[in-house]
Amino acid sequence: MKITLEKLVEMNACREAREEFAKRFPHGTTANQITRECPRGDWLICFLWNFKLATIEQIIMIGCVGGRRSLRFARPKDVPVLVAAYDAADAVADDNTEQSRSAAWSAESAARSAALSAESAESAEHLAIANDMRTMMCSPRYRKAGAGRE
């Protein structure tokens, strides 16, 4: 599948992501190339989600890996809250049930609050990942992926 700037516009990618895409891939590229070269975890999650290139569980795992890797930039007092959110999200990837989603929702809310209160560039990726996770957890597609497992 060839990915073009027009497709990123259709999926409502942010201005910064579109500009980066246009600079790196002026004539478009493949999904594989984007996933190998994507400079930000939140962009990768958005891309995989919108183009349906991964399962919900795979996207959650990618978000958790990206978030955990950026923990070194978080305020030390926020790390336990963020780790709890990633652990809860991992639990959903392992067992997508209403109970695991509810726990992840609560942990994500706490992590989002911590990232917002930091008001720093260091917390921007955590906030972006939290927002992406919230969007996915609210979607019918996400809930449908868990159907039948409860």
Q: Does residue 23 surpass a pLDDT of 90?
A: yes
- In this predicted model, what pLDDT tens digit does every residue of 51-92 receive, in sequence order? 888 887 888 888 788 778 777 877 787 788 888 888 888 887
Specify the pTM.
0.62
The pLDDT value recorded for residue 149 is 41
HEC assignment per residue over the chain: CEECHHHHHHCCCCHHHHHHHHHHCCCCEEHHHHHHHCCCHHHHHHHHHHCCCCCHHHHHHHHHHHHHHCHHHCCHHHHHHHHHHHHHHHHHHHCCCHHHHHHHHHHHHHHHHHHHHHCCHHHHHHHHHHHHHHHHHHCHHHHHHHCCCC
